[in-house]
Structure 1
Amino acid sequence: MLNVTAVHTVFHKDELFEAMAELYDIGTPQGSRFLSNGLNDTYEAETDRGKYILRIYKHKWRTEADIRFELELLAYLSSWDMPVSHAIPRKDGELLTELDAPEGIRYAALFTFAEGAGKVDAETSKSYGHAVARLHHAMDHYTPKHSRFELDTRHLLDEPLQQLLPFLKHRPADGKQVIEIAERLKKQLDTVSSGSYDWGICHGDLHGWNVYHADDGSLTHFDFDCCGMGWRSYDLSVFLWDRMHGKQDSSSFEDECWDAFLHAYLKERPLSEPDLALIPLFVAVRQLWLIGLHTGRSAVWGAWQDDGYFDGKLKFLTHWVDAHKL
């Protein structure tokens, strides 16, 4: 019999939720389902009182301090009447539960359920822009109690580059080009780091699908797993990145959803011209970050980053930096 180290464990959904439900005042369990093996493991659970989301953080993906930063931020936003899916305290008031997994300690948190569905069109983009501006305004007034990684040059460029370059060894020309692009982007970010740009707590993943829209026009933000202190221009750029990624023409920002989102945001919370001018730079940074994320998590997600994957991802990156003279 071989003794092999586990990298990632998927828990039995029913046993997991029944054990967790004993810690919370949420009623009698009625059923659960495993939704996704993403950055973390996400379960939907239901009791006689309603639905909940159970998140199991992957081993060593986030530190305990990182997670407490996120959960306490959500509690604060909820106290400001921000429409966010937030962690529910256990009967003893604790927000986190430790799980002894084969790969090591993992953390679990139970969240309120976000009603509605994902939808990106001109109208939802407008309401989302208003909501993100209010979110940033509320986060301007929050003082974290716990340390957490920052959405800085190291996190957005240096670390992703280390993860993706080994996957390009068989494509040396692409590897060289990626290094050159990263160096150019880093020089620009180094300049930005010494300037007076809008810096504060960011959601980190505002691509437009981490929000659910209900039929009555209300919305709920969720999945703050990528949050942290960072440039607000980067936070906004993720929405544009999602709209532009995969399009044939990446030379302009012409997109009705992006226009509606940004216009609504700026009506609520103005940004300086220098901040707005950074958005194309951060779209490129986001693309490199994403490739680094996919390759860096391949031990858990699988090494499906083949030549077809890199053809598409690097094509957008190179076209974007060329079109916008980055």
Structure 2
Amino acid sequence: MGGRKRTMAPSDLCDPELVPTHTTVAARSVAAWVQRHYGLAVEHCALIRRGLNDNYALRVAGGARHVARLYTLRPRGPFNVEFETALLAHLQGRGVGVAASVDTAAGSSHVRLQCPEGERALALFHHVDGAVPDALDEFAATGEALARLHAAARDYAGPPSLYPLDGHGMAGRTLAWLRAYPGLDARVLASYESLIDALLDELAAAEPMLTRVLCHGDTHGFNNHVVADDAGGKRAVFFDFDDAGPGFLAYDLGVMPWSYLFRKGLRETEDTLQERWAHYLAGYRAAGGVVTDADLAALPLFIQLRHLWNLGEAVGRLHHWGTSAAPEDWLRKQIEVMAAWQKLDLHPARTDTAAGPPV
């Protein structure tokens, strides 16, 4: 009766059948890890969002702001962090506006931490002020910054990306994940198999004429901020290079119009998209970026391939995000959506780009 009550250990509470697929780490744990491995006194830490990776906002002693990224176990394979951080250091050294990483106290680009689902990487990046592009001159500034990024990356010679943005990376993996989708209607799967085969044939035919660059890979307008400089001009700074890799200029350019077609849908008029695109392309060219007729003609192809890449990220993470991220009825509709995008007209003849962004 009077014996001491036994305190249960965490192992006593853990069901042996429990298999974790993803841990959302508490902000205080991330703050402690940053303090331990980076030697920074963290005053504030908060989860920004869970997505392809988990990102946390930090403020350290002295007021400096950072973003800590806890890399998620992605179905594509190992972390690409060695390439990403080396590329950022190279671009920063060339004067390109990027959110470069911060080395650990031991001089490493990142640390590896054990989570219940497996080992994950943690890296720390500088915070970027400003906001996502909204005004037309901000889309022009984004295009200019992307052109400078592509030019500066030409002589990058560091660790290679593990994930080139080729046909397999954009669509091949997606098809494999669709085939593993539980209970997917055979007709829907057959439609995707036919579509992906046709798009990859089109890519193979166009490939010899297309411009190759080291792509940012995720230039959808929400991975860069625009800030005003001391002279009142606007400049763009890019961040989140986890999907960077060697690929095609038409892909890196096409991600922005895809983003607004996908995110805004009917809420965005065609004229609004065309205005943004015209300024974006004109800004790219104003900074010395060369876009050929073949690159422009391939934009509808790459907008569809981008959509398949994005769709694949959802169907490849059913264990983490669930089927609601890409339900079967939505998957069925995307075949028609991509068929409509084949007719997109993003030719610069809609505006005069010779004199810079239209006014």
TM-score by length of 2: 0.82
Residue matched to 2:47: 34
Q: CA RMSD of the aligned region, Å?
A: 2.5
Residue matched to 2:281: 262
- Check whether the contact 1:244–1:250 (CA below 8 A) recurs between aligned residues: no
Tell me, yes or no, if structure 1 residue 227 matches structure 2 residue 244: yes
- TM-superposed deviation, 1:168: 8.4
Deviation string, structure 1 residues 63-105 (Cα, Å, up to 9, x no partner):
6672101110001111112111111011221111010111111
- Check whether the contact 1:240–1:258 (CA below 8 A) recurs between aligned residues: yes
Whole-Å separation in 1 of the counterparts to 2:46 and 2:54: 11
Structure 1 residues 250 and 241: alpha-carbon distance in aligned structure 2, compared to 1, 3 A threshold: farther
**Structure 1, unpaired ranges of 5+:** none
Residue matched to 1:120: 134
Residue matched to 1:314: 335
Structure 1 residues 282 and 250: alpha-carbon distance in aligned structure 2, compared to 1, 3 A threshold: farther
3-state secondary structure, aligned to 2:190: helix
Q: Which amino acid aligns with 2:297?
A: A
Deviation string, structure 1 residues 210-244 (Cα, Å, up to 9, x no partner):
01122542332111111001011111111121233
Deviation string, structure 1 residues 30-83 (Cα, Å, up to 9, x no partner):
111111111111111111232110001112557667210111000111111211
**Structure 2, unpaired ranges of 5+:** 1-14, 346-359
Whole-Å separation in 2 of the counterparts to 1:156 and 1:295: 13
Whole-Å separation in 1 of the counterparts to 2:271 and 2:335: 18
- Check whether the contact 2:161–2:244 (CA below 8 A) recurs between aligned residues: no
Aligned 1:56-205 pairs, distance under 5 A: 56-60=70-74, 66-167=80-181, 169-193=183-207, 195-205=208-218
- Check whether the contact 1:291–1:313 (CA below 8 A) recurs between aligned residues: no
Residue matched to 2:321: 301
- TM-superposed deviation, 1:119: 2.9
Q: Which amino acid aligns with 1:258?
A: W
Q: Which amino acid aligns with 1:113?
A: H
3-state secondary structure, aligned to 2:242: coil
Whole-Å separation in 2 of the counterparts to 1:231 and 1:253: 25
TM-score by length of 1: 0.90
Whole-Å separation in 2 of the counterparts to 1:121 and 1:177: 39
3-state secondary structure, aligned to 2:155: coil
Tell me, yes or no, if structure 1 residue 55 matches structure 2 residue 69: yes
Whole-Å separation in 1 of the counterparts to 2:130 and 2:269: 31
Whole-Å separation in 2 of the counterparts to 1:290 and 1:241: 10
Whole-Å separation in 1 of the counterparts to 2:337 and 2:182: 16
- TM-superposed deviation, 1:166: 4.5
Query: Percent identity at matched positions?
Result: 25
Whole-Å separation in 2 of the counterparts to 1:308 and 1:196: 37
Which segment is superposed worse, 315-324 or 277-286? 315-324
- Check whether the contact 1:212–1:219 (CA below 8 A) recurs between aligned residues: yes
- Check whether the contact 2:43–2:60 (CA below 8 A) recurs between aligned residues: yes
Whole-Å separation in 2 of the counterparts to 1:55 and 1:61: 18
